[in-house]
Homo-oligomer: A and B are copies of this chain.
Amino acid sequence: MASSTGDQSQAVRNGLRTKVLTLHSMNPRVRRVEYAVRGPIVQRALELEQELRQGVKKPFTEVIRANIGDAQAMGQRPITFLRQVLALCVNPDLLTSPSFPDDAKKRAERILQACGGHSLGAYSVSSGIQLIREDVAQYIERRDGGIPADPNNVFLSTGASDAIVTVLKLLVAGEGHTRTGVLIPIPQYPLYSATLAELGAVQVDYYLDEERAWALDVSELHRALCQARGHCHPRALCVINPGNPTGQVQTRECIEAVIRFAFEERLFLLADEVYQDNVYAAGSQFHSFKKVLMEMGPPYAGQQELASFHSTSKGYMGECGFRGGYVEVVNMDAAVQQQMLKLMSVRLCPPVPGQALLDLVVSPPAPTDPSFAQFQAERQAVLAELAAKAKLTEQVFNEAPGISCNPVQGAMYSFPRVQLPPRAVERAQELGLAPDMFFCLRLLEETGICVVPGSGFGQREGTYHFRMTILPPLEKLRLLLEKLSRFHAKFTLEYS
């Protein structure tokens, strides 16, 4: 209030009154939110694009946005079957058109039958269309080797982000040193830090081990938890697998150890598994937390609370714009589950086109369907190219002096570590910038390559990284990686 009054008198002196809503008087929690993936560097990229369009001369001809996991923006083509069925759902007059395969028509009719008024334009129930929840449950069962999934534990959402925020909201309580603490990996995907800031919860950092390919170490979880217990009430543990921004794929042993830890320490588990289809490295395999938990048997299987998140934005389809997603909750208290549904109902329903798309992703064409061959070919082509790009990224970066990059076992990003000369660090500090932000801004200005500084995800003090997607087309990516490596060499020379 004091600062607001101060504004007021300043304004009165200027003959103008202050706004009701100012930086000083606004929600302080919102002010503290940061989201680097779309932060200042992306704002600057937008400005540069505008300048290029206006004919301003630059040392590059296009801005390459390697800041965000947005496959179709990077030129990946949508999967034909998905878009055929969606077009039929959007405009059912097309159901009589001979230019669509029969299985696409059947799928569209099946989805429309499950919609209010047989239209994508009606609200669905807040948890999502029942038929689609059932299809998701069947997908989970297949994925997990037959372990049952209950459609009533599946809630569709507006992308995975929406569901993650909803579950975190449920968990936040207490004041002062009883405030809810949530353990998140460092480096993390900044949705977590942003949401915890907004909710006023305590972010408890546990560090992934860069020396061991970003492995999650339970002794580090213990350390983080013990330190946190002095000033908050840790109640939840978030895991991102495959890792974002770090690209590691957790072993089954690691997942078991995390589950035992969560059980012993009474932590609600959030498993961000949106990259479950994006596993590239030989020897790596995706294990869902749900499957591992169930296979561990008592006392874990029947008691450990877990929420697992998935999305239509990643995988082979990359349909980010449709904002489809779901959460499966396991061992959640029935009354809390009712409360979650109530909370979701205030926002009415997730976008219905995104729900329809999710349905197709979880139940793609079967081998006997006319669309199967093409669907399979398109899917495999995308995944094979992603695997090649993951490998290429690791190779090129590791050949560059002063850059080291862990294997991109999965997901869509590399998170290489860069050596920055002390004089560059000093220069950044003079400018009031994090050193890796300074590096990334210079990179953007000189090459048009837009990547996100490691400081936006968190990293060990004194280390510097950036996150770069592996999504540009293969040959473009190769040029990009080489250009970036050369820029780093030049930058290092400049500040040595």
Which residues 28-80 of A have a CB within 8 angstroms of B?
Answer: 28, 30-31, 33-35, 37-39, 46, 68, 70-76, 78
By the criterion CB–CB under 8 Å, are B33 and A342 in contact? yes
By the criterion CB–CB under 8 Å, are B305 and A320 in contact? no
Partner of A333, one of B19, B38, B94: B19
Task: Kindly specify which of A344-352, A409-417, A431-439 makes contact with the partner chain.
Answer: A344-352
Q: A1-B178, A348-B320 are in contact. Are A90 and B86 (CB under 8 A)?
A: yes
By the criterion CB–CB under 8 Å, are A22 and B336 in contact? yes
| Most chain B CB neighbours (cut-off 10 Å) among A90, A94, A317 | A90
Closest chain B residue to A31, Cβ basis = B339
Partner of A19, one of B26, B93, B336: B336
By the criterion CB–CB under 8 Å, are B235 and A351 in contact? no
Q: A116-B72, A161-B346, A323-B351 are in contact. Are A26 and B305 (CB under 8 A)?
A: no
A156 located at the interface, meaning its Cβ lies under 8 Å from any Cβ of chain B in the complex = no
Please give the distance in Å from A343's CB to the nearest CB on chain B.
Answer: 6
A191 located at the interface, meaning its Cβ lies under 8 Å from any Cβ of chain B in the complex = yes
CA distance A170 to B24 in the complex (A): 11
A478 located at the interface, meaning its Cβ lies under 8 Å from any Cβ of chain B in the complex = no
A123 located at the interface, meaning its Cβ lies under 8 Å from any Cβ of chain B in the complex = yes
Residues in chain B near residue A318, CB distance under 8 A: 121
By the criterion CB–CB under 8 Å, are B235 and A74 in contact? no
By the criterion CB–CB under 8 Å, are A173 and B28 in contact? yes
A479 located at the interface, meaning its Cβ lies under 8 Å from any Cβ of chain B in the complex = no
- 1/0 per position for A182-224, CB-CB distance to B under 8 A? 0000000011001100100000000000000000000000000
Partner of A347, one of B21, B27, B161, B339: B161
By the criterion CB–CB under 8 Å, are A162 and B119 in contact? no
CA distance A28 to B26 in the complex (A): 23
Count of chain A residues with a beta carbon within 8 Å of a chain B beta carbon: 101
Closest chain B residue to A331, Cβ basis = B19
Closest chain B residue to A236, Cβ basis = B20
Residues in chain B near residue A27, CB distance under 8 A: 169-173
A120 located at the interface, meaning its Cβ lies under 8 Å from any Cβ of chain B in the complex = yes
CA distance A407 to B172 in the complex (A): 44
By the criterion CB–CB under 8 Å, are A87 and B91 in contact? yes
CA distance A28 to B20 in the complex (A): 29
CA distance A343 to B161 in the complex (A): 13
A365 located at the interface, meaning its Cβ lies under 8 Å from any Cβ of chain B in the complex = no
Cβ contacts A to B, 7 pairs, < 8 Å: A30-B339, A39-B342, A70-B116, A72-B121, A84-B91, A165-B347, A322-B353
